[in-house]
Amino acid sequence: ACELAAVNMAEENSRVKALRDKLEQGLLASIPHSILNGHKTDRLPNTSNISFEYVEGEAILLHMDQYNICASSGSACTSGSLEPSHVLRAMGVPFTAAHGSIRYSLSIYNTEEEIDFVMEKMPPIIAGLRQMSPFWKADA
């Protein structure tokens, strides 16, 4: 089993990275004021952290849950906290974006259809939440 896993690891990492890249490119292109947090290339192939300005991460997660989309707000080490990630703040992520940070963790079991589904559902989720946000200016 270990030998088989080792043989397939590089191929699966490439496939998962391609899914992650597709997700990021789709969300960043379709949702204004979204920010990729972290280095664009030197990082794990399965993890993406994107901030959506002017909305709260917990509110995003509640709406995502209605579609059975699993993600987390903030980093793994700060999950459960309502404060924005101190790491994102130290990286210079604006306060308006750090609160709307969502961490997507992909695996070898994710499919391209699931990525397409997330890319379809996220823009209206973010747009709807921004309409309720006292910080959002439609012309921003």
| pLDDT one-digit tens code per residue, 61-101 | 999 999 999 999 865 555 566 677 777 877 878 778 888 99
Distance of alpha carbon 79 from alpha carbon 28, whole angstroms: 23
Query: Which helix (H) or strand (E) element contains residue 49?
Result: strand 47-52
Domain residues of the chain, as ranges?
Answer: 2-132
Q: What is the pLDDT of residues 8-23, one digit of tens each?
A: 888 899 999 999 999 9
Query: Which helix (H) or strand (E) element contains residue 8?
Result: helix 2-30
pLDDT band at 5; cut points 50, 70, 90 = confident
Told to judge if 2 belongs to the known catalytic residues of this protein, a careful annotator would answer no
Query: Which helix (H) or strand (E) element contains residue 126?
Result: helix 112-132
- Other beta carbons within 10 angstroms of residue 127's beta carbon come to 13
Question: How is residue 11 written in tokens?
Answer: 């191929």
Q: From the candidates 5, 29, 77, 91, which is the catalytic residue?
A: 77
2-132 architecture in CATH? Alpha-Beta Complex (3.90)
Nearest C-alpha neighbor of 121 from the set 74, 51, 60, 45: 60
Instruction: Work out the mean pLDDT of the chain and round it to a whole number.
Output: 89
